[in-house]
Amino acid sequence: MDVLRRRLGVSDAVLIGLGSMIGAGVFAAFAPAARAAGSGLLVGLGAAAVVAYCNATSSARLAARYPASGGTYVYGRERLGPFWGYLAGWAFVVGKTASCAAMALTVGSYAWPGHPHVVAVAAVVLLTGVNYLGVEKSAWLTRVIVAVVLAALAAVVVACLTSSAAAAGRLDVGSDTSPGGVLEAAGLLFFAFAGYARIATLGEEVRDPARTIPRAIPIALGITLAVYAAVAVAVLSVLGPGRLAAAGAPLADAVDAAGLASLVPAVRAAAAVAALGSLLALILGVSRTTLAMARDRHLPGALAAVHRRRRVPHRAELAVGLVVAVLAATADLRGAIGFSSFGVLAYYAIANASAWTLRRDEGRPPRAVPVAGAAGCLVLAFALPPASVLTGAAVLAAGAVLYLVRRRSA
């Protein structure tokens, strides 16, 4: 069987995780979360971070044990059985393919609002080509994107917190929130944390994975949480939960309200760059899981090919890029974000269940971690808007039916 080349170190893996997490979500997720939770937005962010930490810990221990492309698809198959691995892979590929298209459309809406689909397709073609050239080039481009986005977010935080429009009282939790609203907000905000899965899906391409992956995942998650918390506090202190909930472009609106309208174009440009970073890492992760599922014949076997010279899953990358380009050209995928969140949470519920089965000598995390992670995933998944829950459950059920049909016809 063809294998991928191990080229990535800790810093590369951390940057790929940051490029996945600190992306378009930080520019867009706070508004719908504020609509759900009101002044309880920061509580929802904390809840999402706790679930993300449990998932990250379980994923890191599993990735060190099974350093192969595929992430929870591999972990579920090895620890729980073929069906659960397949279901995790199905949830990841379908949900994240929709996310890829959504990120591409985000690029288009910021870069050329009058023609978002044209820009979206161009972005998919460009980044599919970058991934095709080799994962180390993807890591290099991700490093540039992360630097640009972090600089822009730092400018937003400083502009807001030093403005006379900022008021600490806007951070107080009031009567406009509820436990259900906080959980819904946590489910929406969790979507923005989920990029550390990209590190695990690259298990076959990092050097010394038993050491690299357990270090890279918590580092990337910790940096992301610090950035999100700083941005949330800064934006809330200027806009308050009500204005934040109604904002179309929350960070740009916050900078404008802080009296720095001249910074708004730079924030919009950074949002487009951030969406590009997310799209780059998403295509990378989906293609690796596609590779793993094709190796096991859950997807067409032709997608399991690895390029002889570049050592990348070139057919899987081209197939994913083609599907995403078609979706980006034809669909309005704003509603797909909720479905993608449901799929991601289902994916991590299986990861936590897999981590529960690890023995102590296999690097098992403390028992409370996978229990809290699995329970948190299920609670947040079913706290999402009803349409997202119904669509997500239906797609997962369809995947299960396809699996059973294939097994019976084999």
| DSSP characters over 2-30 | ------B-HHHHHHHHHHHHSSHHHHHTH
Indicate the burial class of 306 (C-beta count within 10 angstroms; 0-12, 13-18, 19 or more).
Answer: buried
pLDDT over 90 (residue 1): no
Helix or strand holding residue 352 (H, E): helix 336-356
pLDDT over 90 (residue 186): yes
Expressed as residue numbers, the domain containing 276 is: 10-409
d(CA 340, CA 98): 7
Backbone angles phi, psi at 96, to 5 degrees: -75, -25
How far is it between the farthest Cα atoms of the chain?
68
- Burial code (b: 16+ CB inside 10 Å, e: under 16) for 254-272 equals bbbbbebeebbebbbebbb
Output 250 or 248, whichever has higher pLDDT.
250
Residue type, 384: L
Q: Residue 17's closest CA among 153, 151, 215, 156? A: 215
Helix or strand holding residue 276 (H, E): helix 264-295
Most confident of 64-68, 155-159, 279-283: 155-159
Task: Give the pLDDT score at 83.
Answer: 94
pLDDT over 80 (residue 223): yes
Task: Give the pLDDT score at 5.
Answer: 59
Residue 163 — left, alpha, or beta (φ > 0 → left; ψ -120 to 50 → alpha)?
beta
d(CA 209, CA 10): 9
Residue 5 falls within a domain, yes or no?
no
Q: What is the CATH number of the domain that holds 275?
A: 1.20.1740.10
**Cβ–Cβ under 8 Å, residues 8 and 205:** yes
Q: What is the pLDDT of residues 275-302, one digit of tens each?
A: 887 788 788 878 887 887 888 788 888 8
Helix or strand holding residue 34 (H, E): helix 30-37
**Cβ–Cβ under 8 Å, residues 20 and 196:** yes
Output 89 or 196, whichever has higher pLDDT.
89
d(CA 68, CA 61): 13
Residue 142 falls within a domain, yes or no?
yes
Residue 55 falls within a domain, yes or no?
yes
Q: What is the pLDDT of residues 17-60, one digit of tens each?
A: 787 777 677 877 888 889 999 999 999 999 999 999 899 889 88
Residue 3 falls within a domain, yes or no?
no
Domain count across the chain? 1
d(CA 409, CA 402): 11
Residue 313 falls within a domain, yes or no?
yes
- Three-class SS of residue 206? strand
Beta-carbon count within 10 A of 172 CB: 11
**Cβ–Cβ under 8 Å, residues 16 and 139:** yes
pLDDT over 60 (residue 352): yes
d(CA 255, CA 237): 11
**Cβ–Cβ under 8 Å, residues 57 and 216:** no
Residue 1 falls within a domain, yes or no?
no
DSSP class of 302: G
Residue 401 falls within a domain, yes or no?
yes
Cβ contacts of 77 within 8 Å, gap of 6 or more: 84, 85, 86, 296
pLDDT cut 90: percent of the chain above it: 38
Q: Residue 185's closest CA among 324, 59, 301, 46? A: 46
d(CA 319, CA 200): 21
- pLDDT band (50, 70, 90) for residue 410: low
**Cβ–Cβ under 8 Å, residues 41 and 192:** no
Backbone angles phi, psi at 72, to 5 degrees: -65, -20
Sign of CA dihedral 165, 169, 175, 179: positive
C-alpha distances in Å from residue 161, one per residue of 20, 28, 154, 251: 26, 20, 11, 13
Of 127-136, 349-358, 373-382, 391-400, the one with minimum mean pLDDT is 127-136
Residue 2 falls within a domain, yes or no?
no
Q: Residue 104's closest CA among 281, 267, 275, 268? A: 275
Q: What is the pLDDT of residues 295-346, one digit of tens each?
A: 878 888 889 988 877 777 889 989 999 999 998 888 775 566 678 889 989 9
C-alpha distances in Å from residue 90, one per residue of 132, 142, 284: 23, 26, 16
